[in-house]
Amino acid sequence: MRLKYKLLISYLFLIFLFSIALLELIFEVRHVSYSLKQHTLYDINSIIYLSKQLQDLEILNANYIVIFIPGNTSAKVVRLEKARQQYHAGWQKVKISLQKASSDFSPPKWSLGTLFEKLSRSKQNEINSVEPLVEKINQEWLKLDQSIKKSIELVRKNKLNQARYLRETAALPNIKKLRNDLIKLNQKIGQYSIIRTQNMASMVERTQSVILYIELALIFVALLSAFLIARKITRPVETLKNAINRMAIQDFSVTIPNKPNDEIGELSSAFEELSLRLKESDRFKSAILSQFTHEMKSPLGSIKQATLLLENSLKDQLNPTQKRFIEIIKGNYSTLQNLITTILQSASYDLGNIQLKYRRVNVVKVVTEVLINLSPMIKEKDLKVNINFSAKKIEAELDVEKFKEVVQNLLSNAVKFSLSGKTIDVRLSERLSLLRLIIKDQGIGIPEKEIPYIFEKMYRASNSEKISVKGTGLGLYIASQIVKAHGGQIKVKSVVDKGTAFTVILPKNRRIAEEGGWLDA
């Protein structure tokens, strides 16, 4: 899949995630708003109907009294019958309104549910408290209705005394109870309406909190998704970057596993092909260089012999200018000879061919000899050398010439990369069966990101060009190979513009060096 399609799918996924959450919130808030609106309307209707019901009860009671006053009895009975029917119809409306107001307030299945918890609990308490009172009022009305119907029959039969007695003993107590219970029911509905209003305010606060939590959760999920998507997309880039860094230090055996099927994958494949070609080119270059250095040894030998013969045969006949030219030839010969030796050594070390000639030596003496050899360079740059040996004699089993080469490389680098007037610290110590040599300078330092590569073949720090120090980039590589062949370690710490410290740790005897167990300790 192409990279642009991956990014498009990632964006669409995040948009889909936000859309689903937003729709959930919209539906839930709309459901809450609608439910609260409906129940508030039912509460108000219930209060209005109950108030009217109390009025109808008083009208019914008044018409009930009037039928016992002398006059047109038939008309009075009709008015009473009409008042009774009106009260009955009104009571049915009250019951329906109360039933709607007390209907279930449970959240929909897709709802989070937390918004409805408090109000649902309050509504259930209301239902439990109002239903018995409504049932009681209903029973009282049925009894009163029966008494009124019976009274109407007695009045029509002109049995006013019996009708009056029925009213006094049965109907009036029921009217009083009914009036009191209707008032009590009206008060309860009003109280619950106030409580529900308070719950509404609480629900609004709860809704705001839930929306805030959902928004925070969405932000977290979006950030996590973006991180995972970006990681999946950029991981091949990081792998490719590491491969480029390895190739920068002449490591051409680079492979990039799990290449994605996009532009980055194509770039990785092209890079692998480039690495393979560079590897072949490097192998060819090494072969040519090795052949060239071998071929150069014979002409250099001839130049050396010819120069010595010329110098010896014309020793007393040479003028100062001729002598200076001969010295220049000899100096350049030595430089070329050292360069060829270094290149041949490097080629040999590449194959792991390091033959060590162990013998017991005084390491203090070896380090001192190297310092003496470098003293002209040290004096030329006006450097100060602090020497700290833990003992006058520290013995170890080493290949003297190769160890001397390690010290020579490290010390010469310290001198080359130090500015005039600075200090070089040389510390040599022993602890148990290990030898420790520390060479610390106050030079230009090594960039932190380049430290892992300085022991690679042909590698030179990027800031070495600042002070125009010439070199092949093989010195530290050869030193590290010699130290490893002795079963030791070489470490480096460096800060740019403050200096560099190399630490060489070697076992003091051959047996420990060959076993190598101390490295795991």
Continuous segment of H or E residues that includes residue 494: strand 489-495
367 and 298 in one domain?
no
Determine the pLDDT at residue 345.
66
404 and 479 in a single domain? The answer is yes
Could you give the C-alpha distances from 221 to 4, 5, 6, 22, 224, in angstroms and in order?
22, 22, 19, 14, 5
Last residue of a domain, one of 350, 377, 406: 350
pLDDT at residue 116 in the model:
47
Q: Are strands 423-431 and 489-495 parallel, antiparallel or unpaired?
A: unpaired
Rounded to the nearest integer, the mean pLDDT of the chain is 80
By the 8 A CB rule, do 170 and 204 touch? Answer: no
Q: How far apart are CA 270 and CA 274, in angstroms?
A: 6
Q: Are residues 150 and 42 in the same domain?
A: yes
∠ CA 273-277-282, nearest 5°, is: 145
pLDDT of residue 113: 47
Q: Which of 180-184, 236-240, 432-436, 493-497 has the lowest mean pLDDT?
A: 236-240
Asked if the structure places residue 44 within a domain, the reply is yes
Residues 193 and 305 in one domain: no
Please state, in angstroms and as integers, the Cα–Cα distance from residue 19 to each residue in 26, 39, 166, 218, 278, following that order. 10, 30, 71, 11, 52
Query: What is the token pair recorded at 111?
Result: 């709802």
State the pLDDT confidence band at 213, using cuts at 50, 70 and 90: confident
Among residues 182, 209, 236, the one where a domain terminates is 209
pLDDT of residue 384 exceeding 90, the answer is yes
Q: What is the pLDDT of residue 235?
A: 77
Number of domains in the chain: 3
Rounded CA separation 79/67 (Å): 9
Each residue's pLDDT tens digit, 253-284? 777 777 777 777 777 788 778 877 877 776 76
What would the two tokens of residue 292 be? Answer: 């060239």
pLDDT, residue 289, reads 63
* 398 and 425 share one domain: yes
Q: What is the pTM of this model?
A: 0.50
CATH at 314: 1.10.287
Same domain, 386 and 445: yes
Q: Which domain holds residue 293?
A: 263-350
- In this structure, the answer to whether residues 449 and 321 fall within a common structural domain is no
Residue finishing a domain among 350, 375, 400: 350
Q: Let me know whether 431 and 286 are in one domain.
A: no
d(CA 258, CA 228): 17
- Does one domain contain both 53 and 202? yes
- The CATH number for 201's domain is 1.20.120
Maximum distance among all alpha carbons in the chain? Answer: 178
pLDDT tens-digit readout, 82-117: 998 999 999 898 888 877 766 645 545 445 544 444
In a domain, 486, yes or no: yes
Collect all residues with Cβ–Cβ distance below 8 Å to 457 and sequence separation of at least 6.
250, 346, 350, 473, 474, 477
Long-range contacts of 385-388 (CB under 8 A, 24+ apart): 385/423, 385/424, 385/425, 385/426, 386/423, 386/424, 386/425, 386/426, 387/426, 388/425, 388/426, 388/427, 388/428
Asked whether residue 177 is domain-assigned, the answer is yes
CA dist., res. 458 & res. 292, Å (int): 18
Give the rounded distance of the alpha carbon of 121 from its chain centre: 42
Tell me the pairing of strands 434-440 and 423-431.
antiparallel
Q: How do beta strands 499-507 and 489-495 pair? A: antiparallel
Mean per-residue pLDDT for 33-49?
Answer: 76
